[in-house]
Amino acid sequence: MANKTTVTVDVANNVSIRVVEVDGAGNEIGLPNRSLLTPGHLVNGAWVATDLSGEPSEVVTAASAAWTPEVVAAYKAALLASYVPPSLPDLQPYQFRAMLTLSGHQAALDAFVAGLPDPNKTIAQAKLDYSLTFQRDNSLVLAAQQALGIDNATMDTLWTQAAAIQ
């Protein structure tokens, strides 16, 4: 009797798809690297959708039924909300400013700060002008990142490149 692929959808979250192969005697055979599928995952803070090409038709059918646009959007949002940037070194002011200028974000950051209401504007400007170091997870850095539309992966890359400036 030939092996058979079976697919089940986790009814608790309607996201995880369990894929197992069953031999002729009804015993589950492990499928390394794909026994549990989700709509996607994060790589350095960037969303990567699961590629279903090459998967058995049962898997593609289950994914198409379970992974509606709403389910995928909610799953992606939850992953992004729980993303913790990797531990990156603090930047010296010259590294931080060089990063902004070289990446073309200096003017956008200036506009972001100028658009803040006081006292936030004054505090943000003082932090930018007088901080001795800049931390990747600082609330001002994170707010500016969001306002400028920079995703986590891009910000981490810029930060890493800035840290290498000597």
What is the extent of the structural domain holding 57? 4-81
149: pLDDT confidence band, cut at 50, 70 and 90?
A: very high
* 19, 50, 81 - which closes a domain: 81
Are 16 and 69 members of one domain? yes
**How do residues 4-27 score in pLDDT, each as one tens digit?**
656 665 545 667 777 666 677 777
Contacts of residue 109, Cβ cutoff 8 Å, sequence gap at least 6:
100, 128, 144, 148
Residue bearing the bigger pLDDT, 88 or 57: 88
Are 61 and 106 members of one domain? no
**How do residues 28-63 score in pLDDT, each as one tens digit?**
665 544 567 788 888 777 788 888 888 778 778 888
Are 32 and 74 members of one domain? yes
Counted domains in the chain: 2
| Among candidate residues 44, 19, 17, the one with its CA nearest the CA of residue 30 | 19
Any alpha helices (H) in 21-92, and if so which ranges? 57-66, 69-81
pLDDT of residue 33: 47
Domain assignment of residue 88, yes or no: no
CA 86 to chain centre: 11
Q: What angle do CA 150, 89, 135 make, to 5 degrees?
A: 60
Are 9 and 73 members of one domain? yes
Are 47 and 109 members of one domain? no
Domain assignment of residue 87, yes or no: no
Q: Model's pTM, two decimal places?
A: 0.53
pLDDT of residue 67: 86
**How do residues 92-138 score in pLDDT, each as one tens digit?**
999 999 999 999 999 999 999 999 888 889 999 999 999 999 999 88
